[in-house]
Each structure stands twice: as C-alpha cells, then as structure tokens.
C-alpha cells in the first residue's frame, strides 16, 4: 500500500560533539523523518530520546541503530522468537496509534524498547502494560526498562490469548499495540470505545499491519495497510499454516483461512507444461501488489498459498520467493497460480511486468481464466483505491463460523469475523461529439485479453492510484489520442451488471466536444477511430455500455451532470444465458453379499438429519464426476477406489419441490476397493452399515430409495420431481 508523503513539522538538532550512540540515534530519526515514517513531533521526540542500543547490548551500537530488526531470542530450531522490530515499522505503528499523554496502553509482545517509546508518548500521566508469554523475554524487558529509567512500565508474563483478570483497566485500554504476528484479534473487549488497535494481522498467509478504531463494539480500519513481518504468536493464539504437500513435487499449498482441499490428485498436473492466461495488467518492478493478493484471497473459493522447495524439480514456472508464497487456487485435479512476466525495463530501470496466470492440469486453462478475470476485475474497480476497509466483529456465543466462512471477502477466525470492503473507484470514458451530432468511437483490439475486445467503444480507461476521475480521463485522452479536451463535464455513471444483476464494473462518463476529423487524430492505442451517427451503431459490433450511453445522450433534452456532482446512472446488463444449469452429485453404490453401504446422517446435518444415505458429495469446480466420487469415498469412508474401477449404474434427474435448480445424481458402483468403511467425517455421518437391498432402513433418503430400486431393475435413468 502507500504511505503518506506529507512531511511532519519536526526539527532536528545538530549531531556534532555527541557520543556515538546519541549521534546514531539522531541520524536514524532523521532518516525516518525523511522517509515519512515519522510524521509528528511527539513520535520524533520519543525516537530521539529512548536509547535503542540499551535494549540490544548483544550487538554493536551501529547495528542497534540500523533501520532493521534486532533478533534477541531464538528457538532450538534457530527461528527468531523475539526481536526488536525495524524502526521504520515501529514509527509507522506508533504514529497510527495516535497516543496521547494520559493514555492507558497495552503492548502484546515484549522487548522493552517499544514499551519505552510508548511510555515517552503517554508521559507519566499515562500507563503502559507490556505482556509476553516467554519469561526470559519479560525478565529481559524488565531489566532493561529499569536500567533506562522506565521502571514504571508494567511487565506481565502471560499468554495474551486470554488476558489475566485485573490487567484491563475500567473502560478498557485507550490503545493496544500488537508486536507479534497474530492470526486473530481476541482483544476487542479489552479496548475502550473509540480506542485504537494496531496489529500485524495474518490473512491467508500474509501479514499486514492494520490500524483499527473501535466503534459500536467492532473494529474499523482507517489507515493504509502495511505489509510487514513479525515473529509468530506463541501459545493458544498460535496459527497453523494448514500446509499440504503435493506428493513427489516439493510443491506446498497452505490454507490458513479456509478449508484445506485434497492435493494428492494434483501431482500429474505438474508433469505437463502450464497454460498461460495473460491479463494485460501491468506492475512496476518496485510496486507492491499486496492489495491484489488480498483481493484474490477473498474473491476466489479454494484460494491458497503456493510455495516450493528451492532445490526441487517441481514443474512450477516462475516459482515464488521463499518468504512471499504465491497466490493459487485448486480446482479438482487442476490448479492455477498468479505469476508475472517481465515485459520491459520501465522508466526507472527496475522492470515492467505483466500479471499472468499459470494453469496446470486438465482444466488448468479454465482455472487460469477464472483467476485472470478476477485480476481484471480488481484492476478495473479497486486498484486505484488507497486501501480496502476492514471490519472485525467478535463472534458471539452460538455463532456458527461455517455459516459465513464461504462468503466473499470474509475470513472467519477463532474469535472474530473479518470482513474486507473494497472501495469502487470508477473507470473513465469520454463521450466526444462534434457539431454534426456524431460520436467519436474507437475499435478495440480483438487480439488482446482486454475489456470488450474487438468492439467499438468510447475512449477512456482505468483510474490509477491517487488520481481523481477528472485527472484520469485527461491522462487517458492524452495517452490514446494525444489531445486535451477542455470542456469535459460529467455526463452519466455507467454501471455494468452481469446476467444475474450483480455489479461488475462502474465507469464515469464525461461529455465533451471535438471537431477534428478522425484521420487527423493520432490514434496511439486500439485499431481505428470513427465518427459515428446514432443510427449506425446497430450495424456495428458496439460495446453494450457504449451503446447505452450514446442512446442516453441522444435522447437527452438537455445536458446532464456537472463537475463533481452526482450523475444519473445508466445500467446495462450482460445477456443472460438461458441454458439450464444443474448441480451434479456423485453417489457410491457399494454392494457386498446383496447388501448396500449406507451411512446415518448426523442429527444436526443440514441435509437429511438422522436419515440413511449413500456415500455422496457434490462435484467441486472443474472436477470430473468420477474424480469427485473417488475423493468423496476416501474423505467420507476411507475407502480407496481407482477411477478405472468405477462404473456408472444410474442417472437420477431430480427437481426438488420449490427449487428452480435441477440436480443430476450420478450413481457409481465399484468393481473392487481397498479398506473397510470408517467414519471419517463424524460431523456429517455417525456410522456406516451394510443393509439388504430388499430391507432398507427407516428413514432412508427418498431419492436414494428411488435410485436403488431403479438400479435393481437395471434402469439407467429415472426422473424424479418433474411432474
């Protein structure tokens, strides 16, 4: 994300005739001011006052004042378990916390130095409590705080997941700063209303330092997100990567938020060359794109993080770096992952890259296309936003996390529900007319994966980060035709909806006049320019949104819209595909000695509670029915059945009462299998039992009875519910 470029009103004292530590401390503060991390005089004064080297006596003074972390404790495996954070990040977080004299502040994750900085900011009228789970860390912090004159800081050894009774002041803390990598935020109740919480929160494997204000019992982010790294939370709040390894490849997929999916079936996908879906979305070499990965994590079901063993032959092109795992999705036997391709050096020499998506497996092209479409959606609607808005609500007793776990841009944690809202920043388009009442259209390339390829459309494009729409349309016209149109004014807002009526994209349309022949205009992008009359657009391959805007202008009796005013809305809906869509389910008909295997559904099951049913499940995205059957059989019963040993024995064409979506039930019988049925999903099924085909138990799912009866009669197809 971006940082504020506003410079603080701070003064820097001279650094001559000072001891080395003081000179280095003031020099570091100067660097942080110049870089924009220090933005207010109190934070500046704190960083110039507290002796950082006194909290890191094991390292040379120069290293203590480097703009980097100082590791202070390691695990037996060599992992850093405690450190003094990088000064730039400490300054950013302290600025975001907006600490004032008299504030009561909780720091989670001790070290001493940051607590001393906080103590300087809240002065003796405030109170600072710092907690850590490691007694060695709190002993060290206590010792150094005492030696440096900050012995009034309250140091507590505890697991911060559950704060001890009496540690939270009446009314809650005015601010909470978390300095360890945390997967959840269980401290909402400990924060005062209107209090500030700054925490490095993990969302789908990446960590962002996020600043929240508590309002009406929930946390609301109000600062740009900062990509960062901290030591991992220990104790009850520790997170698990939920990592799965694709056999024999050295490729690992992690689901920290969301349900892990099977990965064994993905090994063959990595033995073939991937397909590449180009997005035409460009990023500069030093430009962060963490907002895109966060957007994809919420927008794509089955999202995960992909990492690889550095020395393995895994078939992954353009592997992600070790500490920045790639964005990926799993679709049955296929997967796709976000990557980049260098397309030039860029103006700064750091490179210019295009986002591409690599698809692996038999349906890798479809998975890649799905991810690429979301990249384009982010580009058109959200990229120009400074940051998303994050809201965190505590989970109340009795809440069902599963009820919202699959919602787009919602992450359900142990204690909280995290919802991410993405501001829509409109694209821009220019409706240019001449004195003859014609409209200037340009033909878009049909050979690029761009919006409306091969169609006639208005000039314009996306708003870039930090731009207003007025600035964006002026830039786009300069880039596309090299002209400035002085009288541009807002005309309408064009909203594109999909066939179901869901929002897809928004464009602010400007109207202006231009009386230059098309052949005299230098077209820098696209194929061709043309002045077009309204009656001609029906004979052209015209973007539907463009056609709607032209008709709105043609039918208007007076000019619409004003600069910076709310504009009338023109909606255009994409055509509906009237072909029927069905839900596909796979059902296992395992018969042994004249008896069929049935399972008793759990009493709290959403479908057919306390009722007998075949092992079954719905096909997942881009998964064949027979692959679904193999997966469901192993997940539910532990039985291992090769696909080649399954035969289709029945098709049930089912329309449930009151439903408008048909279901196709495919029933497969195995010729052989390995293992005995086990209850692998006790939350869904309580037992497996073989029942004689002529004496099925009560109650049995009705369509299961119908299908088994048809199978016993040798009937391959049966309709149910259509009459």
- Distance of alpha carbon 375 from alpha carbon 237, whole angstroms: 33
Helix, coil or strand: residue 420:
strand
- What confidence tens digit (pLDDT) does each residue in 29-77 have? 999 999 999 999 999 999 999 999 999 998 999 999 998 878 777 777 7
Question: Average pLDDT for residues 655-677, to the nearest whole number?
Answer: 89
- Distance of alpha carbon 266 from alpha carbon 249, whole angstroms: 10
- Distance of alpha carbon 612 from alpha carbon 259, whole angstroms: 26
- What confidence tens digit (pLDDT) does each residue in 529-552 have? 999 999 998 889 899 999 999 999
Strand residues in 216-351 grouped as ranges (E): 218-221, 226-227, 243-246, 251-254, 275-284, 303-308, 326-331, 334-344
Share of the chain above pLDDT 90, in %: 58
pLDDT exceeds 50 at position 357: yes
Q: What is the mean pLDDT of the chain?
A: 88
3-state helix, strand, coil in the chain (%, to 5): 25, 30, 45
pLDDT at 358: 95
Question: Average pLDDT for residues 98-115, to the nearest whole number?
Answer: 95
Q: Which residues contact 235 (CB under 8 A, 6 or more apart)?
A: 133, 159, 160, 161
β-strands 459-461, 456-457: how paired? Answer: unpaired
Q: How many CB atoms lie within 10 A of CB 535?
A: 8
- Distance of alpha carbon 3 from alpha carbon 95, whole angstroms: 12
pLDDT exceeds 80 at position 571: yes
Share of the chain above pLDDT 70, in %: 93
pLDDT at 574: 82
- Distance of alpha carbon 469 from alpha carbon 476, whole angstroms: 10
pLDDT at 11: 45
- Distance of alpha carbon 552 from alpha carbon 568, whole angstroms: 10
- Distance of alpha carbon 260 from alpha carbon 294, whole angstroms: 18
- What confidence tens digit (pLDDT) does each residue in 407-458 have? 788 999 999 999 999 988 889 999 999 999 999 999 988 776 666 788 899 9
Question: Average pLDDT for residues 308-335, to the nearest whole number?
Answer: 84
pLDDT exceeds 60 at position 162: yes
- Distance separating the N- and C-terminal Cα atoms of the chain: 57
Helix, coil or strand: residue 456:
strand
- What confidence tens digit (pLDDT) does each residue in 215-262 have? 999 999 988 888 877 788 888 988 888 899 999 899 999 998 888 888
* Ordered DSSP codes for 467-497: --HHHHHHHHHHHHHS---TT-EEEEEEEEE
Residue 256: asked if its preceding bond is cis (omega within 30°), the reply is no
pLDDT at 557: 61
- What confidence tens digit (pLDDT) does each residue in 337-346 have? 999 999 888 7
pLDDT exceeds 50 at position 186: yes
- Higher model confidence: residue 629 or residue 581? 629
pLDDT exceeds 50 at position 526: yes
Q: Residues 182, 207: contact at Cβ < 8 Å? A: no
- Distance of alpha carbon 314 from alpha carbon 482, whole angstroms: 47
Q: Residues 273, 318: contact at Cβ < 8 Å? A: no
The counts of H helices and E strands in the chain are: 13, 37
pLDDT at 310: 79
- Distance of alpha carbon 323 from alpha carbon 518, whole angstroms: 52
Query: 22 — phi, psi (to 5°)?
Result: -65, -45
- What confidence tens digit (pLDDT) does each residue in 365-376 have? 889 999 999 998
pLDDT at 92: 93
- What confidence tens digit (pLDDT) does each residue in 380-393 have? 888 888 789 999 99
Radius of gyration for the alpha carbons in the chain, expressed in angstroms and rounded: 31
Q: Dihedral angle at the C-alpha atoms of 430, 434, 437, 441, nearest 10 degrees?
A: -40
**148: exposed, middle or buried (C-beta count within 10 Å: 0-12, 13-18, 19+)?**
middle
Q: How many CB atoms lie within 10 A of CB 31?
A: 15
- What confidence tens digit (pLDDT) does each residue in 583-613 have? 899 999 999 999 999 999 988 777 788 899 9
pLDDT at 8: 41
* Nearest in space to 23 (alpha carbons), one of 31, 643, 639: 31
Instruction: Pick from 265-274, 312-321, 664-673 the range whose average pLDDT is largest.
Output: 664-673
Find the helix packing angle between 113-122 and 41-49, rounded to 10°: 130
Please give the biggest Cα pair distance in the chain.
Answer: 100
Find the helix packing angle between 113-122 and 87-97, rounded to 10°: 30
Q: Residues 285, 351: contact at Cβ < 8 Å? A: yes
- pLDDT-derived band at 13 (thresholds 50, 70, 90) equals very low
pLDDT at 446: 77
Catalytic residue among 82, 83, 85, 110: 85
pLDDT exceeds 90 at position 621: no
pLDDT at 449: 61
pLDDT exceeds 60 at position 94: yes
- Distance of alpha carbon 401 from alpha carbon 253, whole angstroms: 23
- What confidence tens digit (pLDDT) does each residue in 252-294 have? 999 988 888 889 889 989 988 899 999 888 888 877 888 899 9
- pLDDT-derived band at 702 (thresholds 50, 70, 90) equals very high
Question: Average pLDDT for residues 177-183, to the nearest whole number?
Answer: 93
On the CB side of 44, CA atoms within 13 Å amount to 19
- pLDDT-derived band at 406 (thresholds 50, 70, 90) equals low
pLDDT at 1: 35
**538: exposed, middle or buried (C-beta count within 10 Å: 0-12, 13-18, 19+)?**
exposed
- pLDDT-derived band at 194 (thresholds 50, 70, 90) equals very high
83 is a catalytic site residue: no
pLDDT at 15: 41
Report CA-CA distances (Å) from 280 to 248, 298, 430, 445, 593. Answer: 34, 22, 22, 12, 60
β-strands 439-443, 528-532: how paired? Answer: antiparallel
- What confidence tens digit (pLDDT) does each residue in 471-481 have? 999 999 999 99
Question: Average pLDDT for residues 123-132, to the nearest whole number?
Answer: 96
Report CA-CA distances (Å) from 604 to 396, 503, 629. Answer: 20, 35, 24
Question: Average pLDDT for residues 1-11, to the nearest whole number?
Answer: 40
Strand residues in 249-376 grouped as ranges (E): 251-254, 275-284, 303-308, 326-331, 334-344, 352-360
Q: Which residues contact 448 (CB under 8 A, 6 or more apart)?
A: 278, 280
């Amino acid at each position: 994300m971006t940082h504020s470029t506003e410079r603080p009103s701070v003064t820097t004292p001279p650094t001559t005739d000072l001891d080395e530590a003081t000179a280095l401390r003031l020099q570091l503060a100067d660097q942080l001011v110049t870089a924009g991390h220090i933005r207010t005089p109190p934070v500046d004064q704190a960083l110039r006052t507290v002796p950082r080297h006194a909290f890191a006596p094991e390292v040379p003074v120069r290293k203590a004042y480097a703009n980097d972390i100082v590791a202070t404790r390691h695990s037996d495996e060599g992992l850093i378990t405690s450190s003094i954070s990088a000064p730039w990040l400490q300054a950013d977080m302290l600025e975001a916390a907006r600490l004032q004299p008299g504030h009561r502040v909780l720091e989670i994750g001790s070290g001493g130095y940051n607590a001393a900085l906080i103590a300087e900011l809240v002065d003796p009228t405030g109170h600072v409590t710092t907690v850590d789970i490691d007694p060695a860390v709190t002993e060290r912090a206590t010792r150094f705080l005492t030696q440096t004159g900050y012995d009034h800081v309250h140091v507590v050894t505890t697991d911060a997941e559950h704060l001890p009774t009496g540690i939270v002041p009446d009314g809650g803390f005015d601010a909470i700063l978390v300095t360890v990598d945390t997967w959840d935020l269980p401290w909402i109740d400990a924060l005062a209303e209107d209090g500030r919480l700054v925490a490095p929160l993990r969302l789908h494997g990446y960590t962002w330092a996020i600043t929240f204000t508590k309002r009406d019992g929930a946390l609301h982010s109000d600062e740009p997100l900062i990509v960062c790294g901290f030591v991992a939370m220990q104790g009850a709040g520790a997170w698990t990567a939920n990592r799965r390894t694709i056999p024999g490849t050295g490729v690992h997929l992690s689901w920290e938020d969301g349900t892990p999916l099977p990965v064994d079936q993905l090994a063959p996908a990595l033995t073939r060359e991937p397909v590449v879906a180009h997005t035409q979305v460009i990023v500069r070499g030093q430009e962060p794109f963490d907002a895109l990965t966060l957007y994809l994590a919420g927008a794509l079901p089955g999202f995960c993080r992909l990492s690889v063993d550095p020395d393995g032959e895994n078939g992954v092109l353009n592997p992600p770096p070790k500490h920045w795992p790639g964005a990926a999705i799993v679709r049955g036997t296929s997967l796709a992952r976000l990557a980049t391709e260098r397309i030039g050096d860029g103006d700064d020499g750091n490179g210019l890259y295009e986002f591409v998506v690599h698809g692996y497996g038999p349906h890798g092209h479809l998975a890649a296309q799905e991810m690429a479409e979301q990249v384009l959606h982010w580009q058109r609607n959200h990229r120009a936003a400074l940051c998303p808005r994050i809201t965190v609500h505590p989970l109340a007793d009795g809440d069902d996390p599963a009820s919202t776990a699959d919602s787009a841009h919602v992450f359900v944690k142990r204690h909280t529900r995290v919802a991410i809202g993405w501001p829509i920043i409109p694209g821009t388009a220019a409706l240019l007319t001449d004195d003859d009442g014609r409209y200037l259209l340009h033909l878009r390339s049909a050979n690029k994966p761009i919006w409306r390829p091969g169609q006639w459309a208005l000039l314009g494009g996306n708003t870039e980060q930090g731009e207003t729409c007025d600035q964006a349309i002026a830039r786009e016209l300069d880039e596309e035709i090299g002209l400035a149109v002085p009288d541009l004014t807002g005309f309408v807002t064009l909203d594109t909806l999909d066939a179901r009526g869901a929002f897809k994209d928004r464009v602010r349309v400007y109207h202006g006049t231009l009386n230059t022949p098309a052949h005299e205009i230098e077209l820098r992008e696209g194929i061709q320019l043309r002045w077009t009359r309204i009656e001609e657009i029906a004979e052209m391959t015209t973007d539907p949104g463009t056609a709607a805007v032209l008709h709105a202008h043609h039918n208007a009796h007076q000019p619409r819209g004003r600069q910076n005013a709310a504009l009338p809305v023109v909606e255009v809906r994409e055509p509906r595909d009237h072909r029927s869509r069905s839900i596909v389910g796979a059902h296992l008909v395992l018969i042994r000695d004249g008896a069929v295997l049935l399972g008793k559904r759990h009493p709290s099951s959403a479908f057919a509670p306390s009722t007998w049913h075949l092992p079954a499940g719905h096909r997942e995205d881009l998964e064949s029915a027979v692959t679904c059957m193999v997966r469901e059989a192993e997940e539910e019963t532990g039985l291992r059945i090769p696909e080649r040993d399954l035969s289709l024995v029945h098709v049930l064409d089912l329309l449930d009462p009151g439903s408008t979506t048909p279901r196709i039930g495919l029933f497969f019988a195995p010729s052989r299998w390995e293992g005995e049925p086990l209850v692998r999903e006790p939350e869904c099924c309580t037992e497996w039992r073989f029942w004689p085909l002529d004496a099925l138990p009560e109650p049995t799912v009705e369509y299961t009875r119908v299908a088994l009866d048809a199978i016993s009669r040798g009937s391959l197809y049966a309709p149910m519910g259509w009459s």
